[in-house]
Chain A
């Protein structure tokens, strides 16, 4: 990459920088950019500049980080629910998931959707109350 002056601050030079601890917004949350992924960055103001090709490459690595984070969050919430003595199959039934699906998510064999993670987060906040509400909701539909 040729030396380019940063148009944001007008003084620094844009150079490829690969460093740990960078975070990027992706779909529903911030995820970590892999430490070895180089992003053209201004050496003075820190502004990051992305080309079309780099944007596509960054999308790929962020998708991997995003999926891993969803698996981690889902497992964390399932552990909380298990700690509250909630049976996994009860959750699967109420969320319309096939039996055993959450075990696959915990084992990292299925990537959970952000919607499922969000549902698990809400359930884990107050498991018994939320599950009873859901049971009542589906029961009313059935009546």
Chain B
């Protein structure tokens, strides 16, 4: 803990990413928030496909921080999509490479609280700067 605070050891996710991926593998497990995720996609199916792909490709190196959203605990990641994911930004379709991801893990669900194109630069726990 002290080593993390001193910046000598990188922060690690609260939720084990392997467990998150295992839970997310079921078609009903990933729940997307409409206002913070679905709104960036032209159709619900495209949103679901992008979320599924993102959770499959996510690696621990993209982890940013853990947020305590009373009473939930959420892990935040800066996901870099290759190839980019098409999103609707201000009514225009854009190919977005960098995405802000925030989720919480429940026994049978991954609640995707945020999944949208990155709006401002963010630094991962390992010190890599990700830009929109």
Contact = CB atoms under 8 A, between A and B. Distances in A.
Interface of A: 2, 4-5, 7-8, 10, 14, 24-27, 40, 47-56, 58-59, 62
Contacts, number: 84
Contact of A58 (B44, B69, B74): B44
B51 A52 contact: yes
A59 B30 contact: no
A43 B104 CA distance: 19
Contact of A55 (B42, B47, B106, B108): B47
Interface of B: 27-36, 38-39, 42-45, 47-49, 51-52, 69-72, 74, 104, 106, 108-109, 111, 113
Nearest to B106: A4
Q: Which 7 A-B pairs have the closest CB atoms?
A: A55-B48, A55-B44, A59-B45, A48-B34, A49-B31, A52-B48, A7-B111
Contact of B32 (A2, A5, A24, A50): A50
A40 B42 CA distance: 20
Nearest to B74: A7
A47 B45 CA distance: 18
